[in-house]
Amino acid sequence: MRTHIDSYWPHARSGWRVFRKLRDAWAGRISLQASSNCPLHLFLGEDGIALADEVADAGGVLGMVTTGLGDPDRPMPPNLQDQLDRFFALAEERGLALDLHVDETGDTRARMLHMVAATALRRNFPRPIQCSHCCSLALQSEECAAETIRLCAEAGITIVVLPMCNMYLQGRDAGRTPRWRGITLVHEFHAAGVPVSFASDNCRDPFFAYGDYDLIEVYREAVRIAHLDHPFGEWPQSVGPIPAAALGLPQHGSICVGAQADLILFRARSMTELLARPQSDRVVLRNGLVLEAAPPDYRELDRLLVQ
């Protein structure tokens, strides 16, 4: 699991300190990774250096946000390319991979994904790059979208789609029925050879009050939202080996001789049966043994809620 930590320096120190403790406490049960999460411009100056050092010291991934840039009330800054090159340089100096939230908007002027891919190619960036959301691409012209997808394929960028969260947030206007699904061009990315993963985002927080980090739920809803059926084809890999490889865990997400017996068993006999119900009676195997643990009760969080 990769989590994104709000990283506004100097307050970021506390978040990364808690992450280290949780990663150590859950070692052997969850492979926990973390990426910084803050606006791109905050990497300028000494604070940016300090944050990049903190991420490197924690063995994390350097991440930033440009979601919403291009909206009328958030115009593109004139030095955006300089900001992006600075961000890449900080990662290069520390040997860090990148995880970016980009173009989470319905404004077609937001083309940060194109800029990231072009920058990675120009700098010959050697580490993995993962970009999530990329919503505005679905509303751009066919020519513009095709060029961005081509650059992503050439740069080796992987794409993460948050189907439930993106559909829930995009096109939201009080009293008005949403007109689009909010997700990016998953079929076009796939056709171009760009790895696509589906995931959860903002579970039970102010952005998205629902969701439970259940990848079966994510895949089930992604099939409906993004039309990943007839045929189902290779799309089940988008919640298995593809995201595992993107996280640097290629030994996970696949069934093969000699692999660790971490499996989920379902009563469903076909894909339509699997996707028709939530599969709440699934059986989880960990190291070949049935995992008896049950999901925690939400009441455990009561003490953390502001009254």
In the set 46, 54, 93, 104, the catalytic residue is: 104
**CA-based torsion, 259, 132, 273, 204: positive or negative:** positive
- Can you tell me whether residue 283 is helix, strand or coil? strand
> DSSP H helical segments within 186-294, as ranges?
186-191, 215-226, 241-246, 271-276
Q: What gap in Å lies between CA 290 and CA 237, rounded to an integer?
A: 23
Is the distance from CB of 63 to CB of 105 less than 8 angstroms? no
State the DSSP H helix or E strand holding residue 159, giving kind and residue range, or none if neither: strand 158-161
Q: What gap in Å lies between CA 172 and CA 180, rounded to an integer?
A: 10
Strands 158-161, 129-133: pairing is parallel
Cis peptide before 195 (omega within 30 of 0): no
Can you read off the two tokens belonging to residue 79? 């030095």
Can you read off the two tokens belonging to residue 113? 């994904």
Dihedrals phi, psi of 188, to nearest 5 degrees = -70, -40
Q: Which residues of 209-244 are buried (b: 16+ CB within 10 A; e: fewer)?
A: eebeebbbbbbbbbbebbebeeeeeebebbbbbbbb
- 142 flagged as catalytic: no
Identify the bridge partners of residue 133 per DSSP, sorted by sequence position.
102
Is the distance from CB of 271 to CB of 232 less than 8 angstroms? yes
Lookup result for tokens 């859950």: 26
Which residues participate in catalysis according to the annotation?
104
